[in-house]
């Protein structure tokens, strides 16, 4: 099932996407699902599929990305936070900040939390997950190196590209992830290459902070990250989920 958030005229709502039909929901998909009416996909504008209270990123969770940045693989998940103000939906522009001379793409698998939870065991994680989406953890790489810690580099408006929907019926353990810039493949990996699996990550994060419905954990990027320039089109495609597209301005 594909869960979406969309704008229809002045209305913003959640829905279930079935082919070209949208079953409009009463309330967010983290609540019991009740259908209000039906719309057509071509009549709406897709937005980021949910509004998280927090976006948790995971650093150096693929060996290839750690190698290209000359970093050691962490002994336990390396967490960072992106603010909800950085959220960017499908087909929405990525804005290059004037304070950075090197902004890079990072295609990732995102995990969306479905209920309030904390201190989960790995065996309990599956029941706490609403679904999965594509994510582009846009990063001002020069500022990341300059600041050492990641907050400024990860937090600019539009730097958390997320969508195009939440897929609830996919096994995240071995999915192909591909990032393309202007049609050229830049990143290609499988989620089976993650150093820390989805159950491990969600369990680990839940022992640090309470997770709320709609929170997003982005699981890390593979090797092949690179710079973006004005006019570029970035696509993050994940097998079984879909393709997230954003252009750069």
CATH architecture of 55-247: Alpha-Beta Complex (3.90)
Q: Residue 16 — very low, low, confident or very high, per pLDDT cuts 50/70/90?
A: very high
Q: What is the pLDDT of residue 56?
A: 98
- List, by residue range, all CATH 2.30.30.370 domains of the chain: 2-47
- pLDDT confidence of residue 172: 98
Note the pLDDT of residue 48: 98
The whole-number pLDDT of residue 154 equals 98
pLDDT value for 225: 98
**Span 73-85, pLDDT tens digits:** 999 999 999 999 9
- pLDDT tens digits for range 127-174: 999 999 999 999 999 999 999 999 999 999 999 999 999 999 999 999
Cα–Cα distance between 25 and 27 in angstroms, integer?
6
Output the CA–CA distances (angstroms, integers) from residue 201 to 33, 131, 158, 192, in the order listed.
27, 15, 24, 13
Strand spans (E) along the chain: 2-8, 11-18, 21-25, 35-40, 45-47, 55-59, 78-82, 87-88, 103-104, 107-113, 129-137, 139-140, 160-167, 176-181, 184-190, 216-218, 233-238, 242-247
Task: Give the pLDDT score at 167.
Answer: 98
Q: Where in the chain is the domain with CATH 3.90.850.10?
A: 55-247
pLDDT of residue 49: 98
pTM of the model: 0.97
What is the pLDDT averaged over residues 232-246? 98
Q: Check residue 108 and give its pLDDT.
A: 98
Fold annotation for 2-47: SH3 type barrels. (2.30.30)
Give the pLDDT confidence of 161-208 residue by residue, as tens digits.
999 999 999 999 999 999 999 999 999 999 999 999 999 999 999 999
Per-residue pLDDT, averaged over 80-96, amounts to 98
């Amino acid at each position: 099932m594909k869960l979406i958030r969309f704008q229809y005229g002045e209305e913003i709502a959640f829905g279930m996407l079935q082919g070209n039909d949208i079953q409009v929901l009463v309330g967010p998909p983290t609540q019991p699902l009740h259908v209000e009416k039906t719309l057509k996909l071509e009549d709406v504008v897709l937005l980021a599929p949910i509004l998280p209270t927090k976006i948790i990123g995971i650093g150096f969770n693929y060996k290839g990305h750690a190698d290209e940045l000359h970093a050691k693989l962490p002994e336990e998940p390396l967490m960072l936070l992106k603010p909800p103000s950085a959220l960017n939906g499908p087909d929405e522009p990525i804005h290059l900040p004037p304070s950075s001379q090197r902004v890079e793409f990072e295609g990732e698998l995102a995990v969306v939390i479905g209920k309030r939870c904390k201190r989960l065991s790995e065996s309990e994680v599956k029941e706490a997950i609403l679904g999965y989406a594509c994510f582009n953890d846009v990063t001002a790489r020069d500022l990341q190196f300059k600041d050492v810690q990641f907050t400024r580099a990860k937090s600019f408006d539009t730097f958390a590209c997320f969508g195009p929907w939440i897929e609830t019926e996919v096994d995240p353990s071995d999915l192909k992830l591909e990032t393309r810039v202007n049609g050229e493949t830049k990143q290609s990996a499988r989620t089976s290459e993650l150093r820390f699996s989805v159950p491990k990550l969600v369990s680990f994060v839940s022992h640090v902070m309470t997770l709320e419905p709609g929170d997003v954990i982005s699981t890390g990027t593979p090797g092949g990250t690179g710079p973006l320039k004005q006019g570029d089109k970035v696509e993050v495609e994940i097998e079984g989920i879909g393709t997230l597209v954003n252009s750069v301005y």
